[in-house]
Amino acid sequence: MLTKEENALVTRTDAGTPMGEAMRRYWMPALLSEELPAPDGPPVRVRLLGEDLVAFRDSAGRVGLLAQKCPHRGASLFFGRNEEQGLRCVYHGWKFDVDGFCVDMPNEPPESSFKHKIRQTAYPCHEQGGVVWTYMGPSENRPPVPGLEWVRAPAGHLHISKTFEDCNYLQGIEGGVDSSHSSFLHRRFDDGYATRATENLRVRATAPKLEVEPTDYGYRYASIRHLSGEGKSYVRVYQFVMPFHQMRAYEGYVGRPVIQGHMWVPIDDDHHWVYNWIYTKDSVPLTEEEIRLEGVITGRAPEDLLPGFRLKKSLANDYLIDRENQRTRSFTGIEGVNTQDMAVQESMGPIYDRSQEHLGTSDLAVIAMRRLLIQAARDVEAGRDPLGAVSSCDAVRPAEMVLPEGVAWSEAMQEDLIARW
Amino acid sequence: MLTKEENALVTRTDAGTPMGEAMRRYWMPALLSEELPAPDGPPVRVRLLGEDLVAFRDSAGRVGLLAQKCPHRGASLFFGRNEEQGLRCVYHGWKFDVDGFCVDMPNEPPESSFKHKIRQTAYPCHEQGGVVWTYMGPSENRPPVPGLEWVRAPAGHLHISKTFEDCNYLQGIEGGVDSSHSSFLHRRFDDGYATRATENLRVRATAPKLEVEPTDYGYRYASIRHLSGEGKSYVRVYQFVMPFHQMRAYEGYVGRPVIQGHMWVPIDDDHHWVYNWIYTKDSVPLTEEEIRLEGVITGRAPEDLLPGFRLKKSLANDYLIDRENQRTRSFTGIEGVNTQDMAVQESMGPIYDRSQEHLGTSDLAVIAMRRLLIQAARDVEAGRDPLGAVSSCDAVRPAEMVLPEGVAWSEAMQEDLIARW
Amino acid sequence: MLTKEENALVTRTDAGTPMGEAMRRYWMPALLSEELPAPDGPPVRVRLLGEDLVAFRDSAGRVGLLAQKCPHRGASLFFGRNEEQGLRCVYHGWKFDVDGFCVDMPNEPPESSFKHKIRQTAYPCHEQGGVVWTYMGPSENRPPVPGLEWVRAPAGHLHISKTFEDCNYLQGIEGGVDSSHSSFLHRRFDDGYATRATENLRVRATAPKLEVEPTDYGYRYASIRHLSGEGKSYVRVYQFVMPFHQMRAYEGYVGRPVIQGHMWVPIDDDHHWVYNWIYTKDSVPLTEEEIRLEGVITGRAPEDLLPGFRLKKSLANDYLIDRENQRTRSFTGIEGVNTQDMAVQESMGPIYDRSQEHLGTSDLAVIAMRRLLIQAARDVEAGRDPLGAVSSCDAVRPAEMVLPEGVAWSEAMQEDLIARW
């Protein structure tokens, strides 16, 4: 349970709010690289932490991320002309480069020095892992670009996508770090994709024991399921990297072991982007069939999508719940693993009031994650660096394994928990 | 006219408001029984007095009405599995019975006593007359279930339906207890359904004299129309039962005498349900043709409806007003008697500002109704029982009659004003 | 730049606000005459300065403009019956004439004097130039009806239309009095409508020098473009008439010289009407082909329109921007000169925050216009008449001309700046 004050603190991320200022101390995904496929192509609207921005790729291939309203009289630069190393406003022709400098102001006399006084808000960008990353905080605090393993995975080994979600970002993270829901929300009665061996283990033991270990990048936690009668436990070690990254291993997800995870990135207080990534641990790149399968399983296949990275299934159409399916084939009656996540998360409302909740032992990871975020907000307010902003997560990797009872997972899985890419 | 303060008092019904607390002292319709046709069938969303609820019929046929958000982490129980005597949340598998007890919590260890500490908000339900009634107030104040005659009418004699209306409930009641509008809003120039003999009487005398008599359940009032040149008056006695019931007799409505009426039930401050009932006074059940005719006359025939008990005709499409029809066939140019009511009531805005109105003698019943509601709100605030909550309305029945001048209606109609079912 | 306070002052026009009270001191267009084509025809909803009104043409052809909610119990008079010299509410039959007097109240006893106590808000109307003008201010301050030249232009010489715009009115005026944007926003790379000779001049010299001359009706201003190498300047003299009229000459607009302009009229703080007029200076009436061409050029041809004077192209569909068109054929990639205006103006948001802007020398006319409006608001607050409310603009006309350098435009163009109709 959070007080109403804590709930407001952790869910509000506009500029000037404590959590918003903390979020601005980390590199964040602004959009997918594929959204800006070519130099001098069409600009793209971006909304992040409640700020309206526009992204464009300039003639040299660099990405600019500018405040969307022209500093002259406020017209949207989205309608701008992306031409010769800059984005030109169509209203009066002012032109800006990726750093926000006004490089042309043709409606003022040539001798005017006015343009040198204009600097549009521009956030630095960095492209890696299929993502345009940006940093929206004070320049003196800018950390190194993120060193997550999946970001470094070789071309062809990584697949990344994004999905619009119609609620506060925290509901997304909570679903992600919540281990026990996979025994219910994603359960199937038919053989669905049950070739995924570990899924059956999660259904067999529905009340996992959680162990949370704080780290300097966030925490790792083990979800331990006792397999009765076998003298064994199924242990899944998740990684939570501040402020919104989650990683987990998945033995048979698309037919072989992979690592996958999400980022839940605030668009504004009532909406967020879910970035979905998957990469292989072995030397064989992801096949087209594996990527197709990932889309089908998660509910993000091409036929599931509307423009703007939105799902056709939504709260407005009850996610096309099928009560007969719910009775006989799947726990929810909703198809698509991540569509199921959205259904419950969005059904909590735009910003869930956590003063109404009742948390149990299965919610330890959720509780730990909130504490870290609240502490980060308070640290930044107090002039301190927030957790994980300046520390490395280069070596972080999740893992899962079936272990004999009595064996310590941190020792037995030590090697598996080290990044190899 | 009401002051702005009185207007806010009488129109706001969320929990904690004076009128909201008064409303919660009466049994209220939550939904139609037919919305939950079978045990273990799909749950149904219900919104009542600003509260989001979910209704379900359990394996034994009992109806549960629970707060919609799961007490664990807030997922909507609407997506829940209705199975073996309870509704199970799809997020983590918590299961609740119709009384709100948590009867299973499979994501916590079997030895945990946590589930015994959880009690979901659950309102008692009672089914009668095709309606699931609920009581949302303090248990120590729970009155007997409502004893209205139509609720007791034998199977086959009663027809009930409901319609969504896009404005505050008070605008609905005002239209209902307002006698004089029937001379205008519902007038026809063609012979429409003018087989309804008394309708012509209402058109003949457009300025009725109203007599309001307070009772211990609300009031009854006579709308007296002098039929000039005949030495007679057409007297219609309506019943208003607190807090939102209205009853009237209708001699030729669907070809024979019936009694009909409405309940106007707050969904929230800006929306309400209109329940529409009709029953026969004689021993012959309603025929399918009579029920069909009722739908056509009122504008609620199957072809008039959208899903969710909404009318296709709405403010957004100007109720498909036809100005040529208005010139030659009906007073409004809008077809459907109750669609005409909705048109004027919704056109007043979400919550009409009654400090702007100008009331005349024809508005006596409206004035009386508001006074009773405001008094009820103040009574509950002061710790008193509101009018009608604990008194009986078992014997209440409306009537209409043409009487010679000088005859007292209360005597002449005495027998007709007593319930017989 | 405006302070946030000034910005609120100049953009808010509801009753009781300083700018709203100032606006109410001028005659304003309420709707087009063609919207009320015949006596006793259907009433029309009108929203103006945040007030909901209804317009109707009575049996004698007079236009009434009444508050929309019936003074009895608030039903919308839009659904009313327009019959025999008045508009009758369909709820209880109250009937009002164009002056707001209640001329029939049939649901009250014939002997009642109640109807004489009822007076519905009614604004005086005046029809001229295809427009129904209204005055919404105190009757003791009512000025003469507007004497603009276009309003007096003979039948057949004037064409007028209106368009809904989805933002505050001030963004519309700013675009209108902004001379330099025409060198950019409306530029074409193909020969589009470049038969319009002066358009090429505007593209040749993109940094006009502005000279603003205050007048007793507003101001006139010259936009002077030096044509390098020719020893000449292209001078365009615009007229701004308080509070929202703008006029400009256009030499080759539809193939011959015309005068055209706009009025930007607040619907409410977030929306406004753009009235678009055009008239000929010579003795030949506008041809159908010229009117058709005006629609095509501006983006208001019949195929561009939705019901309610709305454009199909909108912010929701990015004005159907075509990036290939933007690269090769037009500066914006958006077709329709006034659609281009809407795109930038609406993209500034519902009410643009002018504390964020950076104005240059090209914005002198914008600055001057705002100062006049703010001064008008303060004058009315202080009990003074606002500029232009009581002075004549009968003689005002705009002009454009190519002049040798060193010649004073105010002398050279003196004759051209005098109205002839």
CA atoms within 13 A on the CB side of A405: 8
Checking if the pLDDT of C192 tops 90, the result is: no
Question: Chain A contacts of B112, Cβ < 8 Å?
Answer: 360-361
Say yes or no for a CB contact (<8 Å) between C73 and B348: yes
Residue C253: band (very low, low, confident or very high) from pLDDT cuts 50, 70, 90: confident
Q: What is the pLDDT of residues B386-403, one digit of tens each?
A: 999 988 899 999 999 999
Mean pLDDT of the residues in chain B: 94
Q: Which helix (H) or strand (E) holds C339?
A: helix C337-347
Q: Which of B206, B321, B353 is facing C79, going by the closest CB pair?
A: B321
Sort strands A86-88 and A95-96 into parallel, antiparallel or unpaired.
Answer: antiparallel
Nearest chain A residue (CA) to B84:
A327
The structure tokens 């090209």 sit at C362
* pLDDT of res. A198: 67
Question: Chain B contacts of C114, Cβ < 8 Å?
Answer: 360-361
Q: What is the pLDDT of residues C263-276, one digit of tens each?
A: 999 999 999 999 99
Tokens of residue B383, six digits? 């710790």
Say yes or no for a CB contact (<8 Å) between B110 and A184: no
Q: Establish if B95 touches chain A: CB-CB under 8 angstroms.
A: no
* pLDDT of res. C206: 82
Interface test with B, best of A185, A223, A320, A358 (most B CBs within 10 A): A358
Percent of chain A with pLDDT strictly greater than 70? 98
Q: Which of B207, B332, B357 is facing C79, going by the closest CB pair?
A: B332
Contacts of A392 (CB under 8 A, 6+ apart): A144, A147, A217
Residue C191: band (very low, low, confident or very high) from pLDDT cuts 50, 70, 90: low
Question: Chain C contacts of A114, Cβ < 8 Å?
Answer: 360-361
| C219-239: average pLDDT | 92
Residue spans of alpha helices (H) in A213-300: 288-298
Query: C332 with A90: CB under 8 angstroms?
Result: yes
Distance CA B124, CA C313 (A): 53
Q: Which SS3 state, helix, strand or coil, does residue A51 take?
A: strand
Distance CA B381, CA B316 (A): 39
| C360-384: average pLDDT | 97
Say yes or no for a CB contact (<8 Å) between A92 and C332: no
Cis ω on the peptide bond leading into residue B243 (within 30° of 0)? yes
Q: Which of C340, C357, C360 is facing A74, going by the closest CB pair?
A: C357
Nearest chain C residue (CA) to B322:
C42
Nearest chain B residue (CA) to C107:
B207
Say yes or no for a CB contact (<8 Å) between C181 and A71: no
Q: Establish if C7 touches chain A: CB-CB under 8 angstroms.
A: no
Say yes or no for a CB contact (<8 Å) between B348 and C72: no
Q: Which of A183, A358, A361 is facing B72, going by the closest CB pair?
A: A358
Checking if the pLDDT of A252 tops 80, the result is: no
Checking if the pLDDT of C384 tops 90, the result is: yes
Q: Which of B92, B108, B118 is facing A184, going by the closest CB pair?
A: B92
* pLDDT of res. C179: 83
Give me the total of CB pairs closer than 8 Å, taking one residue from chain A and one from chain B.
94
For chain A positions 294-333, those within 8 Å of chain B (CB to CB) are 318-319, 321, 323, 326, 331-333
Of B174 and B251, the one with more pLDDT: B174
Query: C405 with C45: CB under 8 angstroms?
Result: no
Tokens of residue A151, six digits? 């970001």
* pLDDT of res. B179: 83
Tokens of residue C367, six digits? 């600055």
Distance CA C348, CA A75 (A): 5
Checking if the pLDDT of A27 tops 50, the result is: yes
Q: Establish if C276 touches chain A: CB-CB under 8 angstroms.
A: no
From B97's Cα to the closest Cα of chain A, the distance in A is 18
Residue B198: band (very low, low, confident or very high) from pLDDT cuts 50, 70, 90: low
Say yes or no for a CB contact (<8 Å) between B332 and C92: no
Residue B202: band (very low, low, confident or very high) from pLDDT cuts 50, 70, 90: confident
* pLDDT of res. C229: 84
Nearest chain A residue (CA) to C208:
A107
* pLDDT of res. B13: 98
Q: Establish if C79 touches chain B: CB-CB under 8 angstroms.
A: yes
Checking if the pLDDT of B283 tops 80, the result is: yes
Checking if the pLDDT of A412 tops 90, the result is: yes
- Provide φ and ψ at A406, rounded to 5°: 90, -15
Enumerate the β-bridge partners of residue C224: C209, C235
Angle at C342 between CA C291 and CA A75, to 5 degrees: 150
Checking if the pLDDT of A114 tops 80, the result is: yes
Residue A195: band (very low, low, confident or very high) from pLDDT cuts 50, 70, 90: very low
- Provide φ and ψ at A159, rounded to 5°: -125, 135
Rg of chain A (C-alpha set): 23
Q: Which SS3 state, helix, strand or coil, does residue B150 take?
A: helix
* pLDDT of res. C124: 98
Q: Which helix (H) or strand (E) holds B293?
A: helix B288-298
Query: C96 with C65: CB under 8 angstroms?
Result: no
* pLDDT of res. B156: 94
Contacts of C398 (CB under 8 A, 6+ apart): C220, C236, C237, C238, C239, C247, C248, C249, C259, C261, C417
Q: Which of B73, B106, B107 is facing A357, going by the closest CB pair?
A: B73
The structure tokens 């032992």 sit at A361
The structure tokens 């301050």 sit at C141
Distance CA B63, CA B133 (A): 10
Say yes or no for a CB contact (<8 Å) between C357 and A71: yes
Question: Chain B contacts of C108, Cβ < 8 Å?
Answer: 207, 360-362
| A286-300: average pLDDT | 95
* pLDDT of res. B196: 56
Residue B5: band (very low, low, confident or very high) from pLDDT cuts 50, 70, 90: very high
Checking if the pLDDT of B45 tops 50, the result is: yes
Q: Establish if C223 touches chain A: CB-CB under 8 angstroms.
A: no
* pLDDT of res. B204: 75
Checking if the pLDDT of A47 tops 50, the result is: yes
Residue spans of alpha helices (H) in A266-420: 288-298, 323-328, 337-347, 364-381, 409-412
Tokens of residue B345, six digits? 């009531």
CB-count burial class (<10 Å; 0-12, 13-18, 19+) for C144: exposed
Contacts of A346 (CB under 8 A, 6+ apart): A165, A166, A167, A171, A314, A315
Q: List all chains that touch chain A, counting a touch as 3 or more CB pairs closer than 8 Å.
A: B, C
Question: Chain C contacts of A76, Cβ < 8 Å?
Answer: 344, 347-348
Checking if the pLDDT of B263 tops 90, the result is: yes
Question: Chain A contacts of B92, Cβ < 8 Å?
Answer: 178, 180-181, 184-185, 362
Q: What is the pLDDT of residues A57-76, one digit of tens each?
A: 999 999 999 999 999 999 99
Q: List all chains that touch chain B, counting a touch as 3 or more CB pairs closer than 8 Å.
A: A, C
Residue among B120, B117, B121 at smallest CA distance from B137? B121
* pLDDT of res. C195: 46
Q: What is the pLDDT of residues C148-179, one digit of tens each?
A: 999 999 989 999 999 999 999 999 999 999 98
From C341's Cα to the closest Cα of chain A, the distance in A is 8
Enumerate the β-bridge partners of residue B102: B96
Mean pLDDT of the residues in chain A: 94
Q: Establish if A359 touches chain B: CB-CB under 8 angstroms.
A: yes
* pLDDT of res. C391: 84
ipTM tops 0.85: yes
From B72's Cα to the closest Cα of chain A, the distance in A is 5
Q: What is the pLDDT of residues B126-155, one digit of tens each?
A: 999 999 999 999 999 999 988 899 999 998
Q: Establish if A358 touches chain B: CB-CB under 8 angstroms.
A: yes
Q: What is the pLDDT of residues C295-337, one digit of tens each?
A: 999 999 999 999 999 999 999 999 999 999 999 999 999 999 9
Distance CA A214, CA A364 (A): 12
Residue among C181, C247, C171, C229 at smallest CA distance from C208? C181
* pLDDT of res. A391: 85
Checking if the pLDDT of B197 tops 60, the result is: no
Nearest chain C residue (CA) to A40:
C327
Q: Establish if C9 touches chain B: CB-CB under 8 angstroms.
A: no
* pLDDT of res. B346: 98
* pLDDT of res. A191: 66
Say yes or no for a CB contact (<8 Å) between C334 and A79: yes
Query: C324 with C335: CB under 8 angstroms?
Result: no
The structure tokens 């509801």 sit at C14
Q: Which SS3 state, helix, strand or coil, does residue B379 take?
A: helix
Checking if the pLDDT of A193 tops 60, the result is: no
**CA distances for C174 relative to B276, C245, C362, angstroms:** 54, 11, 12
Of B189 and A170, the one with more pLDDT: A170
Mean pLDDT of the residues in chain C: 94
